[in-house]
A = this chain, B = another copy of it.
Amino acid sequence: MIGTGRLEAFSDGVLAIIITIMVLEMRVPHQPTLAALRPMLPVLLSYVLSFVYLAIYWNNHHHMLHVAERVTASILWANLHLLFWLTLVPFVTAWMGENAFAAIPTALYGVVLLMAAIAYYLLQLAILSAEGRDSVLARALGRDLKGKISPVLYVGAIVAAPSRPWLADTIYVVVALMWLVPDRRIERALAEHRQTATGRRAT
C-alpha cells in the first residue's frame, strides 16, 4: 500500500510543476517596448489569481493528507482525480488571460475551479470514510462552511460570466481571499487531539 508520504510527495511534485509551467503560457512579446507589455497585464493578473488558487490547494491538501493515516484505493484515485482538474488550470488561465477576461473563458475558468472543488470534496469524503466519523479530520472540518460555500459561489460565477464576466472574476478573487486565511481548524483539532490522547504513540 502506498504511504501518505509518497502520495504527498507525488502531489507536491505535480502541484509544483503546474504552478511553474503556467508561466510558460505567458508568451514573451516580440517588441522591447512598454506598449508591447501592456496587453500582458490581463495575462499576468490571471496568472496571479491561479498561482494563489494553486498555493491554497497545496496548503489545504497538505493539511488534509497529513491527518490521513493510511491510503486506500479510493483515496488514491480521488487524489488523482483532483490533480487532473488542477492540471487544467494552466490551460484555462492562459485562455482567460490572453482574451482579457472575456465571457466564455471566464466561465470555463469557473467550471475548472468548480470541478476541482468537487474533486477536493470527494477526496475529503474518501479520507473521512477511511478514518471514521470520529477521526481528527471529521472534528477538524466541523461544519466545513468554506468548503460548502465555494462551489455555490463558483456556480454563481459560471452563470454570471456570459453576461457579466467582471462579476464572475470578482467572485473568483473573493473566494481566493476567503481561503487565503490558512485552515487553522485542522491544526486546532490536532492540537486538542494531542492533548486529550497523550498516551498514543507519535508518528
Decide: A28 near B25, CB < 8 A? Known: A20-B14, A87-B19. yes
A95 touching B29, Cβ below 8 Å: yes
Q: Mark A96-109, 1 if CB is under 8 A from B, else 0.
A: 00110011110010
A180 to chain B, nearest CB (A): 8
B73 touching A182, Cβ below 8 Å: yes
Q: Once the chains are docked, how many angstroms separate the CA of A1 from the CA of B77?
A: 25
B10 touching A12, Cβ below 8 Å: yes
- Which residues of chain B come closer than 8 Å to A14, judged between CB atoms? 16, 19-20
Decide: A23 near B59, CB < 8 A? Known: A108-B37, A182-B73. no
Decide: A16 near B17, CB < 8 A? Known: A62-B2, A102-B32. yes
Decide: A28 near B95, CB < 8 A? Known: A12-B13, A16-B10, A76-B59. yes
Chain B residue, CB-CB nearest to A183? B73
Q: Does A9 contact B (CB under 8 A)?
A: yes
Q: Does A166 contact B (CB under 8 A)?
A: no
B17 touching A21, Cβ below 8 Å: yes
Q: Does A26 contact B (CB under 8 A)?
A: yes
Decide: A10 near B182, CB < 8 A? Known: A32-B102, A33-B104. no
Decide: A51 near B84, CB < 8 A? Known: A32-B102, A108-B37. yes
Q: Does A151 contact B (CB under 8 A)?
A: no
Q: Which of B77, B90, B102, B184 sits near A24, CB closer than 8 Å?
A: B90
- Which residues of chain B come closer than 8 Å to A17, judged between CB atoms? 13, 16-17, 20-21
Chain B residue, CB-CB nearest to A180? B77
A34 touching B76, Cβ below 8 Å: no
Q: Does A6 contact B (CB under 8 A)?
A: yes
- Which residues of chain B come closer than 8 Å to A104, judged between CB atoms? 32-34, 37
In residues 21-69 of chain A, which contact B (Cβ within 8 Å)? Answer: 21-26, 28-30, 32-34, 37, 48, 51, 55, 58-59, 62-63
